[in-house]
A and B are shown apart, each in its own frame.
Chain A
Amino acid sequence: EPEVTQTPSHQVTQMGQEVILRCVPISNHLYFYWYRQILGQKVEFLVSFYNNEISEKSEIFDDQFSVERPDGSNFTLKIRSTKLEDSAMYFCASSEKTLARNQPQHFGDGTRLSIL
Chain B
Amino acid sequence: AQKITQTQPGMFVQEKEAVTLDCTYDTSDQSYGLFWYKQPSSGEMIFLIYQGSYDEQNATEGRYSLNFQKARKSANLVISASQLGDSAMYFCAMREGHRNSGYALNFGKGTSLLVTP
What are the residues of chain B within 8 A of A75 when measuring CB–CB?
Answer: none
21 A-B pairs within 8 Å (CB atoms) are namely A31-B103, A33-B104, A42-B110, A43-B45, A43-B91, A43-B93, A43-B105, A44-B107, A55-B102, A56-B100, A56-B102, A56-B103, A98-B103, A101-B97, A102-B50, A104-B50, A106-B47, A107-B44, A107-B45, A110-B43, A112-B43
> Of the 9-residue stretches B16-24, B30-38, B67-75, B78-86, which lies at the interface with chain A?
B30-38
Which B residues lie at the A interface, using CB under 8 A?
A: 31-33, 35, 37, 42-47, 50, 52, 91, 93, 95, 97, 100-110
Per the bound structure, the CA–CA distance linking A106 and B103 in Å amounts to: 13
By beta carbon, the residue of chain A nearest B54 is A101
Chain A residues bordering chain B, tally (CB within 8 A): 30
Q: Give the residue among A56, A95, A108 with the most B Cβ atoms within 10 A.
A: A56
Of residues 1 through 45 on chain A, the ones whose CB sits less than 8 Å from some CB of chain B are: 31, 33, 35, 41-45
